[in-house]
Structure 1
Amino acid sequence: MPSTIFGVLLGQPFLTGYLLYLGATSGQIGFVLAITTFVNVLQIGIAYWMQKLKRRKWMLVLFVALHRILWSSTGLIPFIFSKEYWVSAFIVMYTAAFIANTAGSVLWTSVISDIVPARVRGRYFGIRNTILNALGSIAMFAGGTVLDRVPGGEGFLVLYFMIWTCALLNILIFLFYPEVPFERSTESKFLPMFTRPLRDKSFIRAAFFLAMWLLVQTLVVPMYSYVMLNLLKINYQTVSGLTVLQTVMMMISFYIWGNLNAKYSNKKLLYWTLPIIAVSCLSWGLLSIFPTLLVLIIVHTLLGVGVGGFNQLSFNFVIGDTPKTERAMFFAVYSAVTGFASFIGPMIGGKVYEWITDLPLWMQIYGLQASAGVIMLVMAFTLGRRVLSD
């Protein structure tokens, strides 16, 4: 729970808002949004190193603590650095935080997949994610209200006091994680261990397709907050309200996808999420004929259902459809492939918004998203159908 509040108050749309407050451009915002996924390439080395550990728990606590401390320390930037260094300092601290998080996520995935029995995994994560996203919705709405009533640096300082409290609680709670037995890889050398996922044709085809999908998706989706705050001039409370709506729809969908997962395979359900995400992007084009708020409600509703299912089912696919002894390396390879694509996407997206500033305003507000939606629909009904079919 404290981890959820921590992540919500430091993530979208507050991350974009804080970067704008620090003076970041759209290109810099795109770069920051991309960092979290780019560092996932390090997970391959971490998955190999993890096989040497006798106890995973304390390494998990260490890297979780580093991530929470470094990311929450970005709130001190205006008090420590001169204004011209604010954005650069944020990027350095944020990058270091997510390098630590990369190690922590490999360890956490390995531990949690051993804690939760396979027979209840789909329902468990559905219920778990539903509860946490309900809490995240409340935190999102509260954060937006704070920034609207206390604008500027003082508002962000209030948020960071809550963030620092949650970071401390989260680190303390991780100390109570159980130390579960670790079933190590059957391979002892790096190269055979690394190539094991690459030899699994079904897995690697799905991983590369999902990487292509995320490349197109992250061209536009991470920039939603930028468009709403900077181009449509919507206030923080409305933006956070829309994000709450998206989170609520994710919360509902987690439970539904979890129950469906008891009947249908991870890959089949994962395929069903693709058209929903594509239509969400395509729906931005409705701004040309319908009121702005109505269209944004449609966009965020569809995005919540689609992305909620995509995230949950891709995670279940990696930890459920792979050999237990090699799970860490399969997860690392998947994260590296999709992470690299998700790094390039926001980088290109942020630059594109800089390049199209001289084009008509409609192209900046909804033209790019609608174009991405068309591409994603074509991908879903052609290559996606072939790769994710059982």
Structure 2
Amino acid sequence: MNIMRNRLPGIRPKRVRKASVHRNNLRVATFEGIPSTIFQVLLQGQFLTGFLLYLGASSSQIGFVLALTTLVNVAQIGVAFLIQKLPSRKWAMVTFIGLHRVLWAATGLVPFVFPKEHWVTAFIIMYTIAFIANTAGGMLWTSVISDLVPARVRGRYFGIRNTFLNALGSLVMYGGGVVLDRYPGGHGFLILYIVVWIFSVSNIIVFCFYPDVPFEKSEEKEFLPMFKKPLHDKLFMKSTLFLAAWLLLQNLTVPLYSYVMLQLMHINYQTLSLLNVSQTIFMMASFYVWGNLNARYSNKRLLLWTLPIIALSSLMWGMLSILPVLPVLFAAHIMFGLGVGGFNQLAFNFIIGDTPKKERPMYMAMYAALTGLAAFFGPLIGGKIYEWIIRWPEWTQIYGMQVVVGLLMLALALLLGRRILRDE
């Protein structure tokens, strides 16, 4: 029987709207962030510091581990050149990110495999190799995602993606803190690492569904001419060197906040999780605000506006001398979330939006290398300073460092930032 004859009069058949390839690609990129966020939240920040303390690490060793992730970014310069030779960015990305996920998750086996006196050394070796792999994987992911997300929807897409993933990260962070408070010591970390293994494997699987988007390669075929492209861009280099100096100061204290609160102030994991969740919630709220402002003002100008906010968050620690501990810590974390949310989003937009598309991998690598070196020496120096002042009055270790660094950041923002991060 002819189907057309059986249609009821006045009723049109529903047309099934097929999702575009573009929309599906963005959906895959968003779903990939779910296992990635769970995996990374449970292995970094307060949980990384807590696990290192459980292994017996000192403040300088903790500072070194926290700094390693940025030091290896220097290798991105070589990766930026090598990806020009790749027939497929996708499978190279999957390979390196897969290595990073497996090796980082494997650090949970350290107490079961190595003698106690070698726990910290074994962790550092495995952690270093994992982040060397991540240097290549992260570079490839940034290159792919910048081609995957069109410029016209980039701000909105990353705002929505970041908000959703940070909300998820907040829940995971709080849950992880509850687990460690209920099951202190090795038992709690074993539970966390079981969850980590589940989501590290699922994350690798989801990465396999990423599209292999076309790659617009550099016009330069040799390493040195390609390397010199960003170096000859004066506006880019001035901004990058300034941001590197800023991150050096910021990282003297911020990565060691968890060390101060856990080791010196004896704050429990659940409270620490609530502090970090409050920071993340306000960071998410700031994405919307900074995103709307970005429609009217340039990336560089808005980056400048974020700097005093971050400096103020560090200065607020000084109020611990006269006010109750928890209100001050919540206020400082909230202020930092507002500032660093804008800083991270705008710095990313600056790299993938304000640079030439064909030369973008080398520009991204140069930015990552310079800011990575600065961010490496920050926690390393900060950890050493905490060792030097261990016999000083307790207030110098709990909030004195933060106040001094906050004043230096504010001076840097007002004296140099206003000249460098201005619209040309």
> TM-score higher than 0.5 here?
yes
Q: Does 1:372 find its partner at 2:405? A: yes
> Which residue number in structure 1 is paired with residue 101 of structure 2?
68
Residue identity matched to 1:315? F
Residue identity matched to 1:365? I
In 2, Cα distance between equivalents of 1:259 and 1:164: 38
Residue identity matched to 2:159? G
- Deviation above 3 Å: which 4+ runs of structure 1? none
Gaps of 5+ in 1: none
**Larger Rg belongs to:** 2
Q: Does 1:93 find its partner at 2:126? A: yes
Which structure: greater helix fraction?
Answer: 1
> Which residue number in structure 2 is paired with residue 77 of structure 1?
110
8 Å contact kept, 1:78–1:86: yes
Residue identity matched to 2:75? L
Cα deviation, 1:215-259, whole Å, max 9, x if unaligned, reads 000000001000000000000100111011111111111222122
Residue pairs, 1:1-390, within 5 angstroms: 1-390=34-423
In 2, Cα distance between equivalents of 1:85 and 1:311: 36
8 Å contact kept, 1:123–1:262: no
In 2, Cα distance between equivalents of 1:86 and 1:262: 49
1:324 is paired with a residue whose SS is: coil
8 Å contact kept, 1:40–1:102: yes
Tell me how far 1:260 sits from its aligned partner.
Answer: 1.7
8 Å contact kept, 1:126–1:257: no
Residue identity matched to 1:195? K
Residue identity matched to 1:219? L
RMSD over equivalenced CA pairs, Å: 0.6
Cα deviation, 1:29-51, whole Å, max 9, x if unaligned, reads 00000000000000000000000
Q: TM-score, normalised by structure 1?
A: 0.99
Gaps of 5+ in 2: 1-33
Count of residue correspondences: 390
In 1, Cα distance between equivalents of 2:158 and 2:304: 19
In 1, Cα distance between equivalents of 2:262 and 2:277: 16
In 2, Cα distance between equivalents of 1:362 and 1:112: 45
Residue identity matched to 1:180? V
In 2, Cα distance between equivalents of 1:101 and 1:211: 21
In 2, Cα distance between equivalents of 1:115 and 1:262: 21
In 1, Cα distance between equivalents of 2:364 and 2:291: 20
8 Å contact kept, 1:126–1:256: no
In 2, Cα distance between equivalents of 1:4 and 1:179: 22
